[in-house]
Amino acid sequence: MTSTTATPGEAERGSRLGAHLVVALVFLSWTAHASSIIGLLAGNATAQIAIHFRTTQIAWFTLAPSLLGLFLSPAIYWAATRYGKRRVMLSAAVLALFGDVIAALATSFPLLLLGRAISGIYAGTAVLAYAIVRDIVPKKSVGSASGAVAGGIAVVGVAGPFLSAGVLDSFGYRGALWTMVCLTAVTVVALLFFIPESPVRDQSKRFDWIGSLLLGTGVTAVVYGIGQGSDWGWTSGRVIGLLGGGLAVILVFVIVESRIEHPLFPMAMLKRRPFWGMIAATSVVYCVTSVGTVGYLLALYPKIPHLSAGLGWSATHYALVGLPGAPILLGTALFAGRLAKRFDPRLLLATGSALFAVSMVLSVYFHYNATQMIATSPVGSIGMGLVITTLPILVISAVEPREQALGNGAQSIASGIFIAVATQVAYVVMAQKGLSSHGAQFYSDASFKNAYWLFAGIGALGSLSCFLMPRMKRMDEVESGQAPAPSAEEEGAPLPR
């Protein structure tokens, strides 16, 4: 059964945006990208944390929040469909605030990982901001509004690096952790006071606990197995057991999901080429966002002959080097929202991913000083601007309004799996040519080159995968707002009792 509650946006559907909707979009952009600012802080702090805690397992500083967010995201999207997107985002933000406090107070690496893991709960809800946009904004403005919300990442790209750099250079990694607490608190306030609730509800769905457990267990086993391959040996029984066992559990998950009435992952929707093509393409392309980790390690690790090929920059210097690319990314993101009204969005995504691949090839050969990085950044900035703007637009193009939360959830789950694996593989690739000293991991020039080649390959594969999709709807062709509940034939399952 589908029910609604009134929101400010209902009165203006089909008309121009009111002031309250403009304010809501500003704060929706914040909620969509707050995790990115926190990610910048975490990325900048990675080198200091690895050396301070003397760990070779620093990859888990990034992976812990990603994996817990992935593990819980199915429950998050189910709850969003049933109880309201804003309400679920707010609950997740409060829990994330608790995790950020634990991380800021941590005196050991395991406790730090616990706090970071809990904070990852919110990251899984960020895509719900785009679903709220579709639910409350007039149809003719959905494309521009989604592009504007997505384009907020460029503002993050300008202000975020300097915020994180200033904090890190002045107060160290501990200051960065406490700044994460403050940023999450702002998110709580934004959701509590400035963002309306979506009117779209679906009370018919039950939560698939078995599927959630199977998926989380399988993915975690695979990612952990990849991470331990270098230390344990790729042919060791433990690594083979983790990889084989994890893949077997994921296979069981697929079988279970295809047979139950209310699956965690919408298998019935996968029968439609626009949907499965969108899932496959966006999941591969989204992996390119993981490359930021390589940049942080290259710029901020110390330069030590025969041990570390880091550039030894301060966080502020790295932010200055990245500054010229930020306005290019912002302009591209804003322009891409308009292009999506005129062109098939899959072509925009394919172009963005291809440009990113070119930028990675350039980075293989030109990453030794600030001049080289600045000169090669425009190609990558244009590519990334197209990618980050087109991804949410493609989800909107591939699903009906009633399926928006399910579509966002499925895309987030799939891309989360791919990102977790790609991030772990990147660390493994870098470690192959790296050295450890006093318990900390360091990386050679070959480490960084191999990582850039890895992401060049991902970008090229992502570009090609876009053509798994048929022609997708332009933003001026999609239906916005609430739609009638689907029939049993549309869902591929019996009507709920």
Res. 485: pLDDT tops 60: no
Res. 88: pLDDT tops 60: yes
Q: Tens digit of pLDDT for each residue in 319-344?
A: 899 888 878 887 887 788 778 778 88
The amino acid that residue 293 corresponds to is T
- Which residue, 98, 102, 76, is CA-closest to 89? 76
Res. 175: pLDDT tops 80: yes
Q: What is the pLDDT of residue 3?
A: 45
Res. 414: pLDDT tops 90: no
Res. 83: pLDDT tops 70: yes
CB 413 within 8 A of CB 250: no
More confident residue, 261 or 14: 261
N residues, the chain? 497
Report which DSSP code applies to 302: -
More confident residue, 446 or 129: 446
More confident residue, 114 or 389: 114
The amino acid that residue 481 corresponds to is G
| 3-state SS class at 303 | strand
CB 3 within 8 A of CB 203: yes
Report which DSSP code applies to 110: H
More confident residue, 181 or 20: 181
More confident residue, 460 or 37: 460
Q: What is the pLDDT of residue 474?
A: 67
Structure tokens at 7: 């929101």
Label residue 449 by pLDDT band (50, 70, 90): very high
**Candidate from 112-116, 154-158, 176-180, 279-283 with smallest mean pLDDT:** 154-158
The pLDDT > 90 percentage for the chain reads 27
Res. 177: pLDDT tops 90: yes
In angstroms and rounded to an integer, the radius of gyration of the C-alpha atoms of the chain is 22
CB 142 within 8 A of CB 478: yes
Residue 240, C-beta contacts closer than 8 angstroms, at least 6 positions apart? none
Q: What is the pLDDT of residue 151?
A: 66
Report which DSSP code applies to 137: S
Q: What is the pLDDT of residue 412?
A: 78
Q: Report in angstroms the alpha-carbon separations of 184 from 46, 68, 121.
A: 19, 17, 12
CB 211 within 8 A of CB 202: no
| 3-state SS class at 171 | helix
Res. 429: pLDDT tops 60: yes
Label residue 11 by pLDDT band (50, 70, 90): very low
Burial of 185 (0-12, 13-18, 19+ CB in 10 A): middle
Label residue 97 by pLDDT band (50, 70, 90): very high
Rounded Cα distance, 229 and 137, in Å: 48
Rounded Cα distance, 469 and 325, in Å: 30
Locus of tokens 């244009």: 382
Rounded Cα distance, 187 and 210, in Å: 31
Q: Report in angstroms the alpha-carbon separations of 229 from 48, 291, 352, 424.
A: 25, 21, 33, 11
The whole model's pTM is what? 0.73
Report which DSSP code applies to 438: T
User: Chain-wide mean pLDDT for the chain?
Assistant: 82
C-alpha angle 194-86-184 in degrees, rounded to nearest 5? 70
Q: What is the pLDDT of residue 479?
A: 59
Select the highest-mean-pLDDT range: 19-33, 70-84, 166-180.
166-180
Q: What is the pLDDT of residue 132?
A: 84
Report which DSSP code applies to 497: -
Rounded Cα distance, 409 and 168, in Å: 34
Label residue 397 by pLDDT band (50, 70, 90): confident
Which DSSP string corresponds to 305-328? TTTEE-----HHHHHHHHTTHHHH
Q: What is the pLDDT of residue 484?
A: 37
Report which DSSP code applies to 264: S
Select the highest-mean-pLDDT range: 48-57, 111-120, 191-200, 335-344.
111-120
Res. 205: pLDDT tops 70: no
Structure tokens at 103: 């991380």
More confident residue, 329 or 172: 172
Asked whether the CA dihedral 65, 67, 70, 73 is positive or negative, the reply is negative
Average pLDDT estimate for 479-489: 41
More confident residue, 46 or 205: 46
Rounded Cα distance, 404 and 396, in Å: 7
More confident residue, 335 or 201: 335
Locus of tokens 């332009």: 474
DSSP lists the bridge partners of residue 304 as 308
Res. 10: pLDDT tops 60: no
Label residue 188 by pLDDT band (50, 70, 90): very high
Label residue 237 by pLDDT band (50, 70, 90): confident
Rounded Cα distance, 137 and 135, in Å: 6
Rounded Cα distance, 456 and 342, in Å: 29
Q: What is the pLDDT of residue 189?
A: 93
Locus of tokens 């919408």: 266
Rounded Cα distance, 37 and 207, in Å: 31
- Which residue, 170, 177, 169, is CA-closest to 102? 177
